[in-house]
């Protein structure tokens, strides 16, 4: 089976295996995950990219990256979306009734609550898409046709939205081949799955008891929360603020840094830290050495840990704190760049907050043409020359990278101008009606030259040029979420359009 959490390194999506139920639940409930799911359910869908992302259908490339992986795992991730509200309960019961026949490993409600995410055991004789079709026929539901690639990632919800879980999910094994060349699936019976919500726990279930601490083999000796905040949530937020969880090759250093900060709220106790610290595959003796080394350093507290506790206590995101951290790769090293949201001007600040700090640069790039269009007539002194705000932006991103969250922000920036253009278009419709009525008359109504400034790109270059001629020298604005719209529509006229813009 397979369960990998997705993180970013030098701009690329990387994969790290989730190896235990306890770690999986901690990731689902950590950081701002619970708060973000709640806000998405209330309509703030632009927050989806902030959710923890998981992949269940493939194993990483040799360098740990996700993109282009062809290594199928023993499990298949399936997205069932856009179910009618009246059918959600019926579909849920049908899936859970066929759990054994399907080989169900995990089931959760989607972020918006309009569907389900499933993970089931792969039928090795079938391709990825054939597995999805087989499951779709078995369950009598349609799967998302856009989510049929093995590298598809899923925006994970919290433990509350999880309906089913088996520990076989965390085996993280590749699809083996039998002597005759056909794939086989090795099925081991581990722990009993979580009982469906509202049902009765199965025999051998943990009866709804909470997961043990992140350390995994200890528990009950020390408190599991600090000032009412679970340590698992504090640790998850620490990773989020410091570039994500450590990968192989940096585990010792990063875990030492975590221990050095975390001890400030654990009374400098090595035993307490060992109960809380995640292992990431390191042996117990090595963990003891890391923690002992961190606790030997002079006691000086941790400003970062104070900020995290304060932010979580106020139930806010890191971009609402006075000072946040952006982490980026530079020559293989992680560079901490301090910046303050309060320094951004009004509008820019709210735009970044709407999509999250991980899309800060794309959203700033996207709204710059909006600003340039709205600031018609404004010029800047660039090396002694007056320059207008003529801007063209092109933003590219992988699927599930969250770029769809940019669209509503652009719409918000241009809403007043769009409303004004609708008034002009109503006047044009009236003129067309009058022209049709006066078709056979000598005197024809004069065509109005109306300054429509939000121009669709699904148009001909000639019509676009005519529209630009009517803007009275003011800037116009065009936007499309699909770059192919322009390329396919204009083809050979693209170069002419580029010259016309200049």
Which residues lie below 8 Å from residue 17, measured CB to CB, with a gap of 6+? 2, 3, 4, 170, 172
58 CB-contact burial (10 Å; exposed 0-12 / middle 13-18 / buried 19+): buried
From 217, 261, 187, 195, select the one nearest 23 (Cα to Cα). Answer: 217
Question: Token digits for 85?
Answer: 């509200």
- So what's the pLDDT on residue 176? 61
pTM (predicted TM-score): 0.41
Average pLDDT, the chain: 77
**70-98 mean pLDDT:** 89
Q: Tell me which residue of 406, 424, 430 sits closest to 474, measured CA to CA.
A: 424
The mean pLDDT of 61-86, rounded to a whole number, is: 88
Backbone φ, ψ for residue 272 (5° rounding): -65, -45
Distance, in Å, from the CA atom of 385 to the CA atom of 388, rounded to the nearest integer, reads 10
Mean pLDDT for 320-335 is: 39
- Tell me what pLDDT residue 338 has: 42
The pLDDT tens digits of the residues spanning 122-174 come to 999 999 999 999 999 999 998 887 778 898 899 999 999 999 999 989 887 66
Lowest mean pLDDT among 31-35, 53-57, 487-491: 487-491
Secondary structure of 30-86 as H, E, C letters: CCCHHHHHHHHHCCCHHHHHHCCEEECCECCCCCCECCCCCCEECEEEEEECCCCHH
Angstrom distance (rounded) from CA 308 to CA 315? 10
> Which helix (H) or strand (E) element contains residue 387?
strand 385-388
Q: What is the DSSP string of 207-243?
A: TTPPPPPTTSS--SSS-SEETTEEHHHHHHHHHHHTT
Q: Where are the domains of the chain?
A: 4-171, 225-313, 326-405, 412-501
What average pLDDT does range 94-113 have in this prediction?
92
Residue 53 in contact with residue 154, Cβ under 8 Å?
yes
Q: Could you report the per-residue pLDDT of 271-306, keeping only the tens digit for each?
A: 888 888 888 888 888 999 999 998 888 877 888 888
224, 230, 305, 218: which is closest to 260 by C-alpha? Answer: 305
| pLDDT tens, position by position, 200-221 | 333 333 333 333 334 433 334 6
Which tens digit of pLDDT belongs to each residue from 451-468?
A: 888 887 777 777 777 788
Residue 105 CB coordination number (10 Å): 27
**How far does Cα 333 stand from its chain's mean position?**
24
């Amino acid at each position: 089976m397979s369960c990998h959490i997705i993180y970013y390194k030098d701009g690329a999506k990387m994969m790290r295996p989730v190896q235990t139920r306890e770690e999986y639940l901690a990731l689902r409930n950590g950081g701002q995950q619970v708060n973000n799911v709640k806000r998405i359910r209330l309509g703030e869908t632009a927050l989806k990219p902030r959710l923890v992302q998981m992949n269940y259908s493939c194993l990483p490339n040799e360098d740990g990256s996700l993109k282009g992986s062809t290594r199928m795992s023993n499990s298949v991730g399936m997205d069932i979306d856009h179910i009618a509200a009246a059918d959600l309960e019926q579909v849920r019961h049908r899936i859970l009734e066929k759990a054994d026949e399907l080989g169900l490993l995990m089931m959760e409600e989607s972020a918006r609550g309009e569907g389900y995410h499933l993970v089931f055991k792969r039928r090795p004789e079938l391709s990825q898409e054939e597995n999805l079709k087989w499951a779709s026929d078995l369950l009598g539901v349609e799967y998302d046709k856009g989510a049929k690639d093995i590298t598809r990632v899923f925006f994970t919800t919290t433990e509350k939205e999880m309906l089913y879980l088996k520990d076989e999910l965390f085996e993280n094994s590749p699809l083996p081949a039998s002597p005759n060349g056909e794939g086989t699936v090795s099925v081991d019976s581990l722990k009993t799955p979580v009982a469906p919500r509202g049902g009765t726990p199965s025999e051998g279930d943990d009866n709804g008891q909470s997961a043990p601490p992140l350390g995994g083999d200890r528990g009950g000796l020390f408190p599991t929360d600090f000032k009412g905040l679970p340590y698992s949530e504090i640790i998850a937020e620490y990773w989020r603020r410091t570039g994500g969880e450590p990968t192989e090759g940096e585990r010792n250093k990063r875990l030492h840094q975590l221990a050095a900060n975390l001890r400030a709220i654990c009374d400098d106790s090595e035993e307490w830290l060992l109960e809380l610290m995640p292992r990431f595959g390191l042996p117990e003796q090595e963990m003891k050495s890391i923690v002992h080394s961190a606790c030997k350093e002079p006691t000086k507290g941790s400003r970062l840990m104070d900020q995290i506790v304060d932010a979580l206590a106020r139930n806010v995101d890191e971009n609402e704190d006075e000072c946040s951290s952006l982490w980026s790769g530079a020559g293989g090293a992680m560079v901490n760049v301090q910046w303050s949201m309060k320094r951004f001007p009004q509008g820019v600040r709210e735009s970044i907050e709407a999509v999250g700090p991980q899309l800060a640069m794309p959203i700033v790039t996207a709204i710059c043409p909006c600003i340039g269009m709205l600031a018609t007539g404004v010029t800047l002194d660039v090396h002694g020359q007056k320059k207008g705000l003529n801007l063209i932006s092109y933003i590219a991103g992988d699927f599930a990278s969250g770029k769809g969250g940019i669209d509503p922000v652009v719409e918000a920036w241009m809403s007043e101008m769009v409303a004004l253009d609708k008034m002009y278009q109503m006047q044009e419709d009236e003129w067309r009606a009058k022209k049709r009525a006066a078709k056979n008359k000598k005197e024809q109504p004069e065509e109005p030259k109306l300054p429509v400034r939000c121009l669709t790109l699904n148009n001909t270059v000639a019509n676009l040029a005519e529209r630009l001629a009517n803007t009275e020298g003011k800037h116009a604005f065009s936007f499309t979420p699909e770059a192919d719209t322009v390329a396919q529509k204009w083809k050979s006229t693209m170069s002419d359009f580029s010259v016309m813009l200049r």
